[in-house]
Chain A
Amino acid sequence: MADALWYFARGSGVISLVLLTVVVALGIGARSGRTAFGLPRFAVNLLHRNAALLAVVFLVGHVVGLLFDPYAQLRVFDLVVPFAGNYRPVWQGFGTLAFDLVIAIVVTSLLRHRLGARTWRAVHWLAYLCWPIALLHGLGTGTDNGTAWLWSIAALCAATVLAAVAWRLTPSFTRYPHRADRQVNSRLLPAVAPTSGSTPTPAGAPSPHAGTSPHTGSPTPAGMPGVPEEAR
């Protein structure tokens, strides 16, 4: 009977890893501003959010299961403070760390209207740190370490997230890629260290959509007024 908790804890741990994978992929999908699987954007966004909440439910199950498990011998302390455990402290510590990060990401997300976009986004990017840590934890700690099925699940999860991140990094990621190249009046760019021998952009510079990267021209010498796009 005592084994039931053990199975439950392991099962819910694996399920939360899979869910977190889905959450990260959907978060990236939502960030692209595209529709996916025939779903409108707001639905992708909601799915991302609800999958995250579900992942937290399983994560809590995983952690509470282990807390009461006679073998794991966790203390409440171990659920919050990483790397202090008795059993495989490093791998278990990764789990605690990932748990803390997930809680931080979810709590700030639920309060994002209070916190503001900046704070929320800063914390939310920890997701890219949280997921690999959770994966390491899952592979390193468990009894199932080394079993073929766990490795297959982990490999599938890793492939999913790597593909999503790779897509995130491609220039055509967003729905309106050309918008990312919008031209910023050089006076509005952050000050650049004085450059010598740079060729100033000709006044009759190319049109906004000349297909060049936003930073082609070298910084305009101070005092040369940029030409607002509307003026053309």
Chain B
Amino acid sequence: MSRLHVDWTACDGRGLCAELLPELLAEDDWGYPVPKGDLTVPPALEPAARQAVDRCPALALRLTAVSAERAPASS
């Protein structure tokens, strides 16, 4: 399992990620992504998340690994 991390100082609100990951992200009125949950990426969405990380024009996205058991504990 992994979790999507948004670097808010880098994000420029271009909205690519919300297009690629509508399951995890919505877009606010200014084009910035709004997390719908804690941004834990289910395995099925992993490829899409990787694509979002790769295509973000501001390099604001990162995937960090979380071990499944500890996932809810740490923030």
Please name the residue on chain B nearest to A30 by beta carbon.
Answer: B57
Annotate A29-64 by CB proximity to B: 1 below 8 A, 0 otherwise: 011010000001110011000000000000000000
Report if B6 contacts A (CB, 8 A): no
Contact of B57 among A45, A116, A176 (CB under 8 A): A45
Report if B19 contacts A (CB, 8 A): yes
Report if A2 contacts B (CB, 8 A): no
Q: Which residues of A contact B57 (CB under 8 A)?
A: 30-31, 45
A177 to chain B, nearest CB (A): 11
Report if A231 contacts B (CB, 8 A): no
8 Å CB interface, B10-44 against A:
10, 13-16, 19-20, 30-31
> How big is chain B's contact interface, by range?
10 to 19
Report if A75 contacts B (CB, 8 A): no
Contact of A113 with B16 in the complex, beta carbons under 8 Å: no
A108 to chain B, nearest CB (A): 13
| Complex Cα gap A175–B19 (Å) | 15
Report if A117 contacts B (CB, 8 A): yes
Contact of B19 among A42, A112, A117, A176 (CB under 8 A): A42
Q: Which residues of B contact A30 (CB under 8 A)?
A: 57
Contact of A176 with B13 in the complex, beta carbons under 8 Å: yes
Contact of A179 with B16 in the complex, beta carbons under 8 Å: no
| Complex Cα gap A87–B20 (Å) | 50
- A-B contacts, 10 listed (Cβ < 8 Å): A31-B57, A33-B15, A42-B20, A42-B55, A45-B16, A45-B57, A113-B54, A113-B59, A116-B59, A179-B31
For the complex of A and B, 7 pairs with smallest distance between CB atoms: A42-B16, A117-B59, A40-B19, A33-B14, A41-B16, A42-B19, A42-B55
A contact residues vs B (CB 8 Å cutoff): 30-31, 33, 40-42, 45-46, 112-113, 116-117, 120, 175-176, 179
11 other A-B residue contacts (CB within 8 Å) besides A46-B55, A117-B59? A30-B57, A33-B15, A33-B31, A41-B14, A41-B15, A42-B19, A45-B57, A175-B15, A175-B31, A179-B13, A179-B31
